[in-house]
């Protein structure tokens, strides 16, 4: 028989945007917490969360949200983690688990870790899920179903705390993988961060075209360009912080991409059709692998 008892008493979600509000909905829907509350610096976001019935209470006061919480989830932009970590540290009681949903894991250990008191467990996490929308109204409970969630606990992390966070993500529908933080950041640099950077660049190039051509680009957008515009519509603050906090891995894969792009330019210039065909055939197999893994 599947265990349906709550994993936590009170859960505090710091930041009630797309991921935070989706997790809040999932925790309530799957009865994983007795009470879900949130804190957000935006009073408007707090009011919207209460209007939507996502949380029991919403506040701009971090101390109020953290009072009595067994699990604290950081769902703010990665660039805010140092400030948030410093502010929550004094209010964390022994036994509390702190996790996050950020896309850069070394930054969590670096910026939040020093502020975690003894007896409090930091278990960084990254649900690899999302849409181009933002705000508490954008979330939905099924966002994580069938998606990966990567946990990057430090070597000395409490095994019971790791298992509890892992179980939470499994119960909201995710497949869970444990990984070292540095490795996570390198993998996500190629699978997520570089594609977003390319999308922002391509759409930015289109926006710089003369007005007549720009209108035709919009009118005759094919599937590929539409996909780029969807990715490029993602939260600009979140992605600014991701690139700045994972700069080494992003710059490394960007250099490799630049070299590959130069090779393709050369093949097109010199009419090397076989080179192009071989390259496209190889990359086509990646798409088939993604479909087979049900991540399409």
Q: DSSP of 12-79, one letter per residue?
A: EEE--SHHHHHHHHHHHHTT-EEEEEEE-S-HHHHHHHHHHT-SSEEES-HHHHHTT-SEEEE-S-GG
Q: What is the pLDDT of residues 221-279, one digit of tens each?
A: 666 777 788 888 888 999 999 999 999 999 999 999 999 999 999 999 999 999 999 98
Q: What percent of the chain has pLDDT over 70?
A: 93
Q: Residue 58: which residues within 8 A CB-CB, separation 6 or more?
A: 16, 37, 38, 39, 40, 45, 46, 47, 49, 50
Q: Is the pLDDT of residue 104 over 90?
A: yes
**Fold of the 8-179 domain:** Rossmann fold (3.40.50)
Report the pLDDT averaged over residues 180-207: 92
CATH class of 183-292: mainly alpha
Residues 6+ apart with CB under 8 A from 268: 276
Q: How many CB atoms lie within 10 A of CB 151?
A: 22
Polymer length in residues for the chain: 296
SS3 262: helix
For residues 19-25, average pLDDT? 97
CA distances (Å), 3 to each of 171, 182, 219, 236, 293, in order? 10, 34, 52, 40, 27
Pair of tokens at residue 225: 């360009």
pLDDT for residue 151 is more than 90: yes
Q: So where are the chain's domains?
A: 8-179, 183-292
CA 257, 263, 267, 273 dihedral sign is negative
Mean pLDDT calculated for residue range 102-120: 97
For the ranges 7-21, 73-87, 158-172, 208-222, which has the lowest average pLDDT? 208-222
**27 close to 171: Cβ distance less than 8 angstroms:** no
**What pTM did the predictor assign?**
0.89
Query: Which band of pLDDT confidence, cut at 50, 70 and 90, is reported for residue 214?
Result: low
Q: Give me the pLDDT at residue 211, please.
A: 67
Q: Which pLDDT score is estimated for 131?
A: 82
Q: Which two structure tokens, joined as six digits, stand for 41?
A: 């610096």
- 149, 125 contact by CB (below 8 A): yes
Question: Encoding tokens for residue 259?
Answer: 């070299």
Residue 1: the pLDDT is 37
For residue 36, how many other CB atoms are within 10 A of its CB?
A: 25
The residues, ordered by sequence, that sit 6+ positions from 284 with a Cβ below 8 Å of its Cβ are none
* pLDDT score at 3: 57
Bridge pairing between strands 8-14 and 33-39 = parallel
């Amino acid at each position: 028989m599947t265990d349906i008892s709550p994993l936590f008493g009170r859960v505090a979600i710091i930041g009630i945007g797309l991921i935070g509000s989706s997790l809040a909905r999932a925790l309530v829907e799957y009865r994983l917490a007795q009470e879900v509350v949130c804190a957000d610096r935006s009073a408007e976001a707090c009011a919207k969360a209460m209007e939507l019935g996502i949380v029991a209470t919403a506040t701009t006061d971090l101390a109020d949200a953290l009072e009595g919480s067994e699990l604290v989830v950081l769902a703010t932009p990665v660039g805010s983690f140092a400030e948030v970590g410093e502010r929550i540290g004094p209010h964390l009681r022994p036994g509390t688990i702190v996790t996050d949903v950020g896309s850069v894991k070394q930054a969590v250990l670096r910026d939040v870790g020093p502020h975690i008191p003894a007896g409090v467990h930091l278990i960084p996490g990254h649900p690899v899920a999302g849409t181009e929308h933002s705000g508490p109204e954008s979330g939905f409970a099924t966002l994580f179903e069938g998606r990966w969630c990567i946990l990057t606990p430090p070597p000395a992390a409490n095994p019971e705390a790791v298992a509890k966070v892992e179980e939470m993500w499994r119960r909201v529908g995710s497949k869970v993988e444990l990984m070292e933080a540095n490795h996570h950041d390198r993998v996500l640099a190629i699978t997520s961060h570089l594609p977003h950077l390319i999308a922002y660049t391509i759409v930015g190039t289109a926006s710089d075209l003369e007005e007549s051509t720009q209108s035709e680009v919009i009118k005759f957008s094919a599937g590929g360009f539409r996909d780029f515009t969807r990715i490029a519509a993602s939260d600009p603050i979140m992605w600014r912080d991701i690139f700045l906090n994972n700069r080494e891995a992003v710059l490394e894969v960007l250099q490799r991409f630049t070299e590959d792009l130069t090779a393709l330019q050369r093949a097109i210039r010199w009419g090397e059709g076989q080179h192009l065909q071989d390259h496209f055939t190889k990359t086509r197999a990646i798409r088939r692998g993604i479909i087979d893994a049900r991540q399409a």
